[in-house]
Amino acid sequence: MVNMKIKTQEISLDINNNFNLIKYDGPLMILISITCLTGIFVLYSASNESLDVLNRQIFRIFIAFTAMMLVSQIPTEVLRKLSPWGYIGGIILLSMVLWLGEFGQGAQRWLNLGIRFQPSEIMKLSVPMMIAWYLHEKRLPPTGKELIVIMVLVIIPGLLIARQPDLGTSLLVIAAGLIVVFLSGIPFRYIFSLIILCIPSSLLLWKFMKDYQRQRVLTLINPDTDPLGAGYNIIQSKIAMGSGGIFGKGWTNGSQVQLEFLPEKNTDFIFAVVGEEFGLLGVLTILTLYILIIGRGLYIASNASDLYGRLLAGSISLTFFVYVFVNTAMVIGLMPIVGIPLPLISYGGTSMVTLMIGFGMLMSINSNRKLVAKK
């Protein structure tokens, strides 16, 4: 009996030790899980109660969680060493899209190498990783020469993505890189100069925009000029958001959703589904979850053990904020429609996996801090 008790205790200790070897961040894991479960709940209604859509999304979430846990086990030092190679590989894949890419929804964004994916999603992580790698051994704030190098590193993928065309993702990739620069303590005069440069740059950008992109900007100003065409999406989205009131119409009871008035309700406009069926309380609940996730990410960034970890974790967290802000602002008519899904909730595979890999990096950075603290 004594021997059996000893063996049972040894087995229990082995299980505990093996579990402790798995690197993860409990609070972040819980928040992400709650948000994903909420997304499944909302998607079921948005898809008109389609079990096929729901099953595909659950499978994608499983793949994304697996990717997150695998990345979280990679030491931060290894991530840092892989950063330039990931950036170079991403540039090569973006170049391949221009010649071998598949068309979808009027754009050449997809690459099929046995697995169909969007290389532009990779650059959402590769660009901030590259900038953090470039700055991690340099004195901060960066010098003017270093800022020029950074701008080149950011603009190259931005232009390649814009050529697809995918202006929304291009701007997000550029923003992810610039956030790293902002976190590096760039002097205020450089920030002011960048703001001044944005004025002529926006005029130049307008010149190179395609007709449908210009139409989206004009529609933002006055969607009623074309209520059945370019302005239809925004008008229907506003109706859905406004009709929900404080408590909403109830799960699966949204008229805009169930009667197919709301476009892209599974993806870009799923936030309007939340507003119509769960009202203001549902919207505030989703935003609270997002705020907590961003806050946890910034906490990990502020406590990272090295400069690379601080810059990368800060960029991932604030870029996630940009995704949330752009989508929600787009749905309520404060920004043009740019095709950015609502993180962790919208239907989709590539964007979900990219987000989860980013969260895996956050967990890796936090685990590295704990290991350094123990030493």
30 and 109 in a single domain? The answer is no
54 and 153 in a single domain? The answer is no
329 and 196 in a single domain? The answer is no
286, 345 in Cβ contact below 8 A? yes
126 and 62 in a single domain? The answer is no
203 and 311 in a single domain? The answer is no
Q: Which amino acid is at 147?
A: L
Residue 156 tokens, joined: 């190259």
79, 129 in Cβ contact below 8 A? yes
What is the torsional sign of CA 71, 315, 61, 285? positive
265 and 195 in a single domain? The answer is no
Q: Which of 186, 209, 232 is the last residue of a domain?
A: 209
Q: What is residue 294's predicted lDDT score, i.e. its pLDDT? A: 96
341, 273 in Cβ contact below 8 A? no
64 and 94 in a single domain? The answer is no
Beta bridge partners of 104: 107
> 323: which residues sit within 8 A by CB, 6+ positions away?
172, 340, 343
For tokens 């993860």, the residue is 24
Q: Which amino acid is at 345?
A: I
Looking at residue 24, the DSSP 8-state letter turns out to be: -
35 and 109 in a single domain? The answer is no
37 and 97 in a single domain? The answer is no
* pTM of the predicted structure, to 2 decimals: 0.86
For tokens 């290991």, the residue is 371
120 and 182 in a single domain? The answer is yes
> 25: which residues sit within 8 A by CB, 6+ positions away?
72, 296, 300, 362, 363, 366, 367
Q: What is residue 37's predicted lDDT score, i.e. its pLDDT? A: 94
Looking at residue 268, the DSSP 8-state letter turns out to be: T
Total domain count for the chain? 2
Q: Which domain holds residue 141?
A: 83-209
Q: What is residue 106's predicted lDDT score, i.e. its pLDDT? A: 62
pLDDT by position in tens, the chain (length 375):
445 444 444 444 443 444 456 778 889 999 999 999 999 999 998 888 888 989 999 999 999 999 999 999 999 999 999 999 999 999 999 998 888 877 766 667 778 777 778 888 889 999 999 999 999 888 888 888 888 899 999 999 998 888 887 778 888 899 999 899 888 888 777 777 777 776 666 666 666 666 766 766 666 666 666 666 667 778 888 888 888 889 889 888 888 877 778 888 888 889 999 999 999 999 999 999 999 999 999 999 999 989 999 999 999 999 999 999 999 998 888 877 777 889 999 988 788 999 999 999 999 999 876 555 555
Q: What is residue 143's predicted lDDT score, i.e. its pLDDT? A: 84
Buried b (16+ CB within 10 A) or exposed e, 128-160: bbbbbbbbbeeeeebeeebbeebbebbeebbeb
Q: Which of 151, 181, 209 is the last residue of a domain?
A: 209
Looking at residue 102, the DSSP 8-state letter turns out to be: E
